[in-house]
Homo-oligomer: A and B are copies of this chain.
């Protein structure tokens, strides 16, 4: 891979459509042979969770109740209506043969996209590394993420 011309994507959103956009861009970049790093922070952490509710402490549990983890449970940024938006979006995606989130994520992994969990977010949301999918890199902070960004051609905040 060439140097300093990769892609860094900061995924803060936990919305299904935005995570889908982020993964699609990452896959496109990796397919074009670029070094591609995704930094998952705040709600974005959902996209790399195993599916079990987050949080061990009191606040973490409340957060988990409102925010039950796993890439299959997240809804779009608009028109969620208690899950109907997600259902409809999935129906439309299925009807048009659009790859579901979990498969997109696997494709990204297969293409060598690196997934970095934000350390501070894991701490605040009381998420353990055991709650994350096995393919994630070591959790890191803003400094490490910025180091990647400084060596990228394109950095996006999603």
Contact = CB atoms under 8 A, between A and B. Distances in A.
B78 A98 contact: no
A133 interface: no
Interface residues of A, number: 56
B92 A29 contact: no
Interface in A103-158: 120, 123-126, 141-143, 145-147, 149-150, 152-158
B93 A124 contact: yes
A154 B149 contact: yes
A3 interface: no
Interface in A1-36: 5, 7, 10, 12, 14, 17-18, 21, 24-25, 27-29, 31-32, 34
A91 interface: yes
A57 B152 CA distance: 41
B59 A25 contact: no
Identical subunits present: 3
Q: Which 9 A-B pairs have the closest CB atoms?
A: A28-B142, A156-B157, A59-B92, A154-B155, A149-B154, A28-B146, A66-B79, A96-B123, A24-B142
A18 B12 contact: yes
Given A32-B147, A34-B150, A154-B155, 20 more contacts: A5-B150, A10-B25, A14-B78, A21-B42, A25-B146, A27-B142, A28-B146, A32-B150, A59-B91, A59-B92, A62-B88, A63-B92, A66-B79, A92-B125, A98-B120, A98-B123, A98-B124, A149-B153, A150-B153, A157-B157
